[in-house]
Amino acid sequence: MSIIAGLRRYAEVNGDIKTKLLSQNKVTVEDVNGQRYLGCALDSGKTIEIHGTAGNDLACYLNGGKILLYGNGQDAVGNTMGGGQIIIHGHSGDALGYGMRDGEIYIRDNVCCRGGIHMKEFRSMKPVLVIGQNAGSFLGEYMAGGTIILLGLNMKRGEKLFGTHCASGMHGGKIYVRGAFPKENLSPNIKISSLTDEDKKELDKYVKNYCKYFGQDYEAVMSKPFKKLTPVTSRPYANLYTSN
Amino acid sequence: MLKEGQVRIPSGCAIAAIIDRKGGLINGSEIIKSISLMHDRSNGLGGGFAAYGIYPEHKDEYAFHIFFENKEAHQKCEEFLFKHFNIDVAERIPTKKVASISNGPDIWRYFGRVNRVRMKNSRLDEGEYVVQCVTKINAAYDGAYIFSSGKNMGCFKAVGFPEDVGEFYMLDRYDAYLWTAHGRFPTNTPGWWGGAHPFNILDWSIVHNGEISSYDANRRYIEQFGYKCTMQTDTEVITYLFDHLIRHHGLPANVAADVLTAPEWDEIDRMDDEKKEYFTNLRAIYSGALVNGPFSVILGSNKGLLAINDRLKLRSLTAAVKGDRAYFASEESAIRIICPDPDKVWSVSGADPVFVPLEIENKEDE
């Protein structure tokens, strides 16, 4: 039996989800209309399948659980998530993966502004964000660690792979971009390089997952070349106000 | 009462809008449904709506919506209005008792034309004459606030949640070709009836989510031209900026939008020569009208609807189209609840204002 969200308040819907998850490992929520905080801090071994438009802070603080969204996400999907998986069959709003610390997010289509803002990594915790289409401005802003993969599939004529101020203040992690990208939108202090064998292995794994989740042809995706964007320095603003 | 830092309200304002490009009418219940889905973005200290095309039987007259805080203000304001305008209708705006809305002012509306003798003696054109009369009352008549002064349009606002405000004014009895709506979460200024959105002058109305950090620079600029900021909030300045740029300087709406959200200089440096010259000129001529800070703004007018975001894109705004209708809202779900299957959905970017023109000619006097 699935939970019907309809026009109910978010606290009530989240309460129903929590109760169901006490006795089962998977719940389905239907007719979602902007209810916030769905899947907040969901633990490993638990899955929530969502149909509709999920509200802000979907899967925030995700703690190893799995979120399947059939519809679009709004702002701050995966906010400060610490592990687990989010798979979105649609697009996402602003600030996707905000301060993400571990786990994986797969977006079939595009993300709006500030995708992957301040993602970070620590030892074995390495967050990954895979975007099928393109990204708005400020992709990877203040990025401190982790990996963003931007595939540029199904882009319309005249659309760009990412908007202005890409990787502004980035000081860690890496962004893999597929095909042509607008160099003029890239922030200063960002290096463009070819992928090492180790990079290719990493990329391969996540592209395969993307293709599996969204029924894409892996060979076709890999037929275009990838480049790697990394910060030149870990302290891009060291001399912003003083010379030493 | 809990002080700042002791309480956290997970909130930010909400805005929503619908336009039918061909002038088809949309019932007020639709916009209420859209804005009420974002209930949690406001905190009950302000809600409001603007509706265009609602007074066809008075379409050539100014419709003044006025808050009166006491009898004396009412009497003095009426004296002024009757002297400066030929008023046809003076009536209370119909409202309904709603539990959550109380302690409100007396709310009236007046339909009328300008007093032509007075206008000629003042040597002002009609728009300027009306704006100066409205400014005079709002600045000098304590307890009287004209919060709507356009033709064939009206603003409805109050302290309360937007869905309650819609019920209070019984907006399901109005049909409009363009609606905007606002749910307020006041941050720097008090929540009072006049401070609720939309802000209006003539046919322009503004709903806004965010904060204008350039407010004082903008206010100093606009007050040089006779406007007075009287509503104790930052948003009204945007209304006057648009009115000034479009009515006094004759700029098209999209150019006025470029003035308010002009790109940064380093972006201008990278543009081709034609665009570089255009933006350099705008920034040089209108430096005082450049608006800074996190904002998403929707401008309603009898020419169409304009949606803008700040250039750093610090507030969310989603747009959608379906047939002749265009929809805007702070959250996508608030669009989908009234338009489940749009032809196209996208996020309004800071660099690209969206203008949806009304494609019917505004008929002149027949």
The CATH number of residue B123's host domain is 3.60.20.10
- Residue by residue, DSSP assigns B79-123 as HHHHHHEEEEEEEEPP----TT--S--EEEEEEEEE-HHHHHHHT
Count: domains in chain B: 1
Task: Write down the pLDDT at residue B362.
Answer: 55
CA distance B188 to chain A (A): 24
Nearest-CB residue to A137 (from B10, B318, B350): B350
The answer to whether position B26 is within a domain reads yes
Q: Is residue B8 part of a domain?
A: no
Domain assignment present for B124: yes
Q: Does A187 touch chain B (CB under 8 A)?
A: no
Q: What is the arithmetic mean of pLDDT over A119-124? A: 96
Answer yes or no: is B127 within a domain: yes
A33/B38 Cβ within 8 A? no
Q: Which of A194-203, B129-138, B191-200, B333-342 has the lowest mean pLDDT?
A: B191-200
Helices and strands: H and E segment counts in chain A: 3, 11
Residue B4 is predicted with a pLDDT of 44
A36: nearest CA in chain B? B40
Name residue B176's amino acid.
A
Task: Give the ipTM of the model, two decimals please.
Answer: 0.94
User: Does the residue B351 lie in any domain?
Assistant: yes
Please answer whether residues B321 and B6 qualify as being in contact, where contact means their C-beta atoms are separated by less than 8 angstroms. no
User: Which of B331, B336, B337, B349 best tests the A interface by mutation, with the highest count of A CBs <10 A?
Assistant: B331
Residue B254 belongs to domain spanning: 14-357
Answer yes or no: is pLDDT of B303 > 60.
Answer: yes
Angle at A132 between CA B320 and CA A151, to 5 degrees: 130
Among B7-11, B238-242, B335-339, where is mean pLDDT lowest?
B7-11
Query: Is B2 within the bounds of a domain?
Result: no
Residues facing residue A191 across a β-bridge: A230
Q: In what order do the strands lie in the sheet with B304-309?
A: B199-201, B204-210, B295-301, B304-309, B354-357
Per-residue pLDDT averaged across A11-35, rounded? Answer: 97
Count of alpha carbons within 13 Å of B31, Cβ hemisphere only? 40
What architecture does CATH give domain A3-231?
3 Solenoid (2.160)
B161: three-class secondary structure by DSSP: coil
Q: Inform me whether the pLDDT recorded for B127 exceeds 60.
A: yes
- Give me B135's structure tokens: 């400014």
The reply to whether A152 touches chain B by the CB within 8 Å rule is: no
* Distance, first Cα to last Cα, chain B: 58
- Distance to chain A for B319, nearest Cα, Å: 12
Q: Is residue B5 part of a domain?
A: no
pLDDT at B116 over 80: yes
pLDDT of B270 higher than 90: no
The residue with greater pLDDT, B267 or B73, is: B73
Residue B155 designated active-site: no
**Could you report the per-residue pLDDT of B242-265, keeping only the tens digit for each?**
999 999 999 999 999 999 999 889
pLDDT score, position A244: 67
On whether residue B236 sits in a domain, the answer given is yes
The arithmetic mean of pLDDT across residues A214-236, rounded, is: 95
A123-167, pLDDT tens digit by residue? 999 999 999 999 999 999 999 999 999 999 999 999 999 999 999
